[in-house]
Amino acid sequence: MAMRTKLSLAIFFFFLLALFSNLAFGKCKETEVEEEDPELVTCKHQCQQPQQYTEGDKRVCLQRCDRYHRMKQEREKQIQEETREKKEEESREREEEQQEQHEEQDENPYIFEEDKDFETRVETEGGRIRVLKKFTEKSKLLQGIENFRLAILEARAHTFVSPRHFDSEVVFFNIKGRAVLGLVSESETEKITLEPGDMIHIPAGTPLYIVNRDENDKLFLAMLHIPVSVSTPGKFEEFFGPGGRDPESVLSAFSWNVLQAALQTPKGKLEKLFDQQNEGSIFAISREQVRALAPTKKSSWWPFGGESKPQFNIFSKRPTISNGYGRLTEVGPDDDEKSWLQRLNLMLTFTNITQRSMSTIHYNSHATKIALVIDGRGHLQISCPHMSSRSSHSKHDKSSPSYHRISSDLKPGMVFVVPPGHPFVTIASNKENLLMICFEVNARDNKKFTFAGRHTHINP
Ligand SMILES: *[C@@H]1O[C@H](CO)[C@@H](O)[C@H](O)[C@H]1NC(C)=O
Ligand SMILES: [Cu+2]
């Protein structure tokens, strides 16, 4: 028993020894290799040729070998260093690039700037028509509302927007100024005056002209287009009268005698009027022409007499919520008399937030909100789970489900989108009320959920 223990102990020590010697040997070998560069060995070996060199020559030769070796080592080190630096720089560049791409994605997918995200379709002396870029061009997250396009018409005082029709359902909203819409049918032209806050649905294909009947002020009209062509979602076209893509259809609707009657102008003068369209589709007209294109007294007391038109004023409609902090007015698919809202599955809302106040944090169950700021300034915040939380504010809680805060200052002309389920809040500035008009898409069965009590729609 004792014998065996001794033996195994001996074996143990033997292995230990072997291990140490091996380590020591290995280390030694390593330094040897470093010292004995084969080139150096050859160099030194050549110096030792006795028949060629004297002792002095040999020394000089050996020194030269050493010097050469040192230079070679330094050069190698330098090259190593350079490649390392290059690699570091490359990876740094790559990182920056990735960061940039990320930031591009992170850029607010739901917020549209007036100058960046609109394209001008028409621009003349008389005014311009700007169309918001396709929602899917901004972000894939907006695929569901691809088929909705928002356009803004701006027309100077006393101008005429030449007859046209659209291959889209259009909801007109009169933001500012005083307009006349002329809806042209074969037998007569129906003239409708629009005041700020007025909303009207124009069925696809209806030929119409627009007049800014105000002598001094610009007219601002928002148009929500819902293209009807199933083959080209999100695309709509204007079909002009003379000089346009489809002159025949519009002109036949605008038979000359109708136009003559509507404009109370002889045919020759009319032709001249429409010839002006070659200079653009929005142009100045005289006071007499404005008067001729506007409704006569008799038809201006509509909507109380006769036909009911799908028109209403959202500014003067009774608000759903109203208190010191602001007002919310809604017209939705369940409002019986607005059958077109039912058909288009749309709700229209108007929010007027008192300065220094804010809306409660709330979200829509089904509807996607397309909001247009029409007056005042303020701020918006949306919580979005679709975006990674790379925002500097939320770096500390990477492990929990990440809700990215999308925020933006708001000013007139800006558009923002809030998808269903996304809680958001709007805040008015200290100096101005914040006024917004919203088109809520897919409004049927929609419910609004708030995170605060019912009576605190708007809070300081
Ligand atoms: C918005 O609310 C303010 C009161 O805070 C009111 O004076 C103003 O007329 C409202 N604007 C519209 C367009 O309803
Ligand atoms: Cu989102």
Q: Which of 327, 353, 358, 458 is the best mutation target for the ligand 1 pocket, counting ligand atoms within 8 Å of the beta carbon and taking the most? A: 327
* Closest among 23, 70, 28, 62 to 45, alpha carbons compared: 62
**Residue 148 in contact with ligand 1 by CB distance below 6 A:** no
**Residue type at 14 in one-letter notation:** F
* Interval 388-411 mean pLDDT: 65
Across 36-45, 270-279, 303-312, which has the greatest mean pLDDT? 36-45
Question: Hey, what are 189's tokens?
Answer: 């032209």
Ligand nearest to the CA of 197: 1
Q: Which of 199, 328, 433 is the best mutation target for the ligand 1 pocket, counting ligand atoms within 8 Å of the beta carbon and taking the most? A: 433
pLDDT at 326: 92
pLDDT tens digits, one per residue of 157-168: 999 888 888 889
* Closest among 172, 222, 167, 207 to 193, alpha carbons compared: 172
pLDDT tens digits, one per residue of 338-388: 688 988 999 999 999 999 998 888 999 999 999 999 999 999 999 988 775
Q: Is the pLDDT of residue 394 over 50?
A: no
Q: Which atom in ligand 1 lies closest to the alpha carbon of residue 354?
A: 5
Question: Hey, what are 171's tokens?
Answer: 């909801």
Q: Which atom in ligand 1 lies closest to the alpha carbon of residue 196?
A: 13
Q: Is the pTM of this model over 0.75?
A: no
Q: Is the pLDDT of residue 291 over 80?
A: yes
* Pair 424, 383: CB distance under 8 Å: yes
pLDDT-above-90 percentage for the chain = 34
CATH C-level class of 314-459: mainly beta
pLDDT at 439: 97
Q: How far is the first Cα of the chain from the last one, in angstroms, to the nearest whole number?
A: 91
Q: Is the pLDDT of residue 138 over 60?
A: yes
Domain 110-312 has CATH 2.60.120.10: yes
d(CA 164, CA 273): 15
CB-based contacts of 424: which residues, under 8 Å, 6+ apart? 361, 362, 363, 380, 381, 382, 383, 418
Ligand nearest to the CA of 434: 1
pLDDT at 366: 94
Ligand nearest to the CA of 432: 1
Looking at 270-279, 351-360, 413-422, which range is the least confident one?
Answer: 270-279
**Residue 315 in contact with ligand 1 by CB distance below 6 A:** yes
- Tell me the pLDDT of the chain averaged across its residues: 78
d(CA 189, CA 182): 6
pLDDT tens digits, one per residue of 98-120: 555 444 444 688 999 988 899 99
**Residue 174 in contact with ligand 1 by CB distance below 6 A:** no
Q: Is the pLDDT of residue 33 over 70?
A: no
**Residue 108 in contact with ligand 1 by CB distance below 6 A:** no
Identify the band that residue 401 occupies on the pLDDT scale cut at 50, 70 and 90. Answer: low
d(CA 421, CA 329): 21
Identify the band that residue 258 occupies on the pLDDT scale cut at 50, 70 and 90. Answer: low
pLDDT at 46: 79
Identify the band that residue 235 occupies on the pLDDT scale cut at 50, 70 and 90. Answer: confident
Q: Which residue has the higher pLDDT, 13 or 446?
A: 446
Distances from the Cα of 288 to the Cαs of 77, 161, 275, in angstroms? 90, 16, 18
Q: What are phi and psi of 65, to 5 degrees?
A: -55, -45
User: Could you tell me the residue ranges of all domains in the chain?
Assistant: 9-93, 110-312, 314-459
